[in-house]
């Protein structure tokens, strides 16, 4: 079948508007990665006060910074719609490109479901029935999912604009908590470094999966690079701003909170910062933090739906999925892939938070490693291509930033298996990864019949074909 047989797929790729400016990108990356310290509490609860702070400080250096450097080089080299799917396909070939896209899509089924779960956990501060009645809990999740799906259908500029507002709303009460808490610190925030009866390695491993989840997602916005006004300039700038911003918003309120209200006075799990705010500032800030926690979950889900809905869109424009998925709304949103994301998320939202995180981080890390391998492969196969941003340090720098996240992932998986066994979370993650080669074999004949094969022109950084 000729390319002309799939006209909508080819046309839709070329009519995407570049609407997102620097401020919107910062807001979207913030909510793709963080959304504030909410969700971080389990790091302290699992690892201990001192170990939790150590993980907050170390993880950006060995996980976030290497990933951001890799993303900055590849995204400025190939600022195309579909992002990491197109990068890996160009560097490693169609099989691994498909694995990258498929695994990332599978991650979205779990990752998107985490935020409705968090939203309901935070909302239970006001409505305890959400912890007591499973059906009510799920119905609230459904309302959350489909309300934000409708927001996404209005276009990336609406999601980007709302992210800027959400960023200010989420950060404001933590600034108040930090400033007031500075004058009330009366204990060592690093004590206990680990909980009694827990060794250094066990505590480190217990908190590592959660902190990795809190620091992952730097490549997420690459899937909408075709909608960024000036991706080669603004994406690296936004990464440079958000890494220290997110690290600070994790570290400073946590440090002050532990110096006023230690881990033995508050149960450090979802919602702990609300209780800390009650104790440090007053009941009013606890209520405000509870409300902004809901805003954080909204911003996280909305930003990730924007990113993840472009994955099946990219696979469809390349012939792997039906061409009908490439149709855009008048506002430029792939409404059909947004609906699919909402349906899958509605089913996955029934899972427990910890199991979802283990699956999420493991599958995401495997997809991420393909991006790092792609960085090295393109350095070797296309050394002459213009790279507006280049990872510093030549080959040594590129290899180093690849090895650091690989080592972090290996340690996290080791301790997860040691702690709960191979099937708790990780068994499901392995099953999710195994679906990639199966889906490739199943879908490849239909792709060949469609005759579509998009390629990245490295001279221009644009999609062709």
Q: Residue 119's domain is classified under what CATH number?
A: 1.20.1740.10
Q: What is the residue-averaged pLDDT of the chain?
A: 85
Below-50 pLDDT ranges, the chain: 1-15
Instruction: Judge contact between 391 and 375, C-beta under 8 A.
Output: yes
Number of domains in the chain: 1
Q: For residue 4, what pLDDT is reported? A: 37
HEC readout, 104-120: HHHHHHHHHHHHHHHHH
Determine the Cα–Cα distance for residues 344 and 341; give it in Å rounded to an integer.
5
Q: For residue 8, what pLDDT is reported? A: 40
Q: For residue 3, what pLDDT is reported? A: 36
Cβ-in-10-Å burial (0-12, 13-18, 19+) of 464 comes to exposed
Q: Considering only CA atoms, which of 434, 348, 275, 305 is closest in space to residue 113?
A: 348
Determine the Cα–Cα distance for residues 323 and 317; give it in Å rounded to an integer.
7
Cβ-in-10-Å burial (0-12, 13-18, 19+) of 339 comes to middle
Contacts 24+ apart (CB under 8 A), 456-461: 456/78, 456/80, 456/86, 456/87, 456/89, 456/90, 458/77, 458/78, 458/90, 458/382, 458/385, 459/385, 459/386, 461/76, 461/77, 461/78, 461/79, 461/80, 461/232
Determine the Cα–Cα distance for residues 275 and 125; give it in Å rounded to an integer.
10
Q: For residue 13, what pLDDT is reported? A: 42
Q: For residue 205, what pLDDT is reported? A: 77
User: Which tens digit of pLDDT belongs to each residue from 350-373?
Assistant: 655 555 566 777 888 899 999 999
Q: For residue 160, what pLDDT is reported? A: 82
SS3 194: coil
Q: Considering only CA atoms, which of 100, 114, 129, 147 is closest in space to residue 38?
A: 114
% of the chain surpassing 70 pLDDT: 91
Q: For residue 5, what pLDDT is reported? A: 38
Q: For residue 273, what pLDDT is reported? A: 86
Determine the Cα–Cα distance for residues 141 and 143; give it in Å rounded to an integer.
5
Could you tell me the residue range of the domain that residue 257 belongs to? 3-464
- Whole-model pTM: value is 0.85
């Amino acid at each position: 079948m000729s390319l002309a047989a799939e006209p909508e797929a080819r046309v839709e790729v070329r009519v995407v508007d570049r609407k997102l400016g620097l401020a919107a990108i910062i807001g979207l990356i913030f909510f793709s990665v963080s959304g504030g310290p909410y969700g971080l509490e389990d790091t302290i609860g699992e690892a201990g006060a001192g170990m939790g702070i150590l993980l907050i400080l170390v993880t950006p250096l060995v996980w976030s910074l290497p990933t951001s450097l890799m993303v900055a080089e590849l995204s400025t080299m190939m600022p195309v719609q579909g992002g990491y799917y197109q990068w890996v396909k160009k560097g490693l070939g169609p099989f691994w490109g498909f694995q990258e896209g498929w695994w990332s899509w599978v991650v979205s089924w779990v990752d998107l479901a985490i935020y409705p779960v968090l939203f309901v956990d935070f909302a239970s501060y006001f409505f305890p029935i959400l912890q007591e009645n499973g059906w009510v809990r799920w119905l609230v999740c459904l309302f959350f999912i489909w309300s934000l799906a409708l927001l996404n259908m209005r276009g990336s500029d609406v999601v980007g604009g709302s992210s800027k507002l959400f960023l200010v709303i989420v950060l404001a009460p933590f600034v108040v908590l930090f400033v007031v808490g500075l004058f009330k610190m009366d204990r060592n925030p690093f004590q206990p470094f680990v909980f009694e009866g827990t060794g250094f390695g066990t505590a480190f491993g217990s908190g590592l999966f959660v902190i990795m989840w809190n620091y992952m997602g730097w490549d997420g916005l690459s899937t909408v690079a075709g909608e960024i006004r000036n991706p080669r300039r603004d994406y690296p700038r936004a990464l440079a701003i958000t890494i220290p911003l997110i690290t600070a918003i994790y570290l400073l309120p946590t440090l002050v909170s532990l110096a006023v209200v230690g881990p033995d006075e508050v149960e450090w799990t979802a919602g702990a910062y609300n209780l800390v705010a009650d104790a440090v500032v007053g009941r009013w800030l606890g209520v405000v933090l509870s409300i902004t926690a809901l805003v954080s979950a909204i911003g996280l889900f909305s930003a990730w739906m924007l990113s993840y809905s472009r994955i099946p869109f990219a696979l469809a424009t390349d012939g792997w999925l039906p061409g009908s998925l490439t149709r855009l709304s008048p506002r430029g949103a792939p409404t059909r892939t947004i609906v699919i994301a909402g349906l899958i998320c509605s089913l996955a939202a029934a899972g427990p938070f910890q199991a979802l995180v283990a699956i999420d981080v493991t599958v995401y890390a495997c997809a991420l490693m393909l991006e790092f391998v792609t960085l090295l492969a393109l350095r070797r196969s296309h050394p002459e291509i213009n790279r507006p941003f280049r990872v510093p340090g030549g080959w040594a720098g590129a290899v180093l930033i690849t090895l650091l996240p690989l080592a972090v992932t290996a340690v996290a998986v080791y301790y997860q298996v040691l702690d709960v066994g191979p099937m708790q979370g990780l068994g499901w993650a392995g099953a999710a990864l195994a679906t990639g080669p199966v889906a490739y074999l199943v879908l490849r004949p239909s792709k060949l019949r469609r005759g579509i094969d998009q390629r990245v022109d490295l001279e221009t950084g644009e999609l062709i074909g």
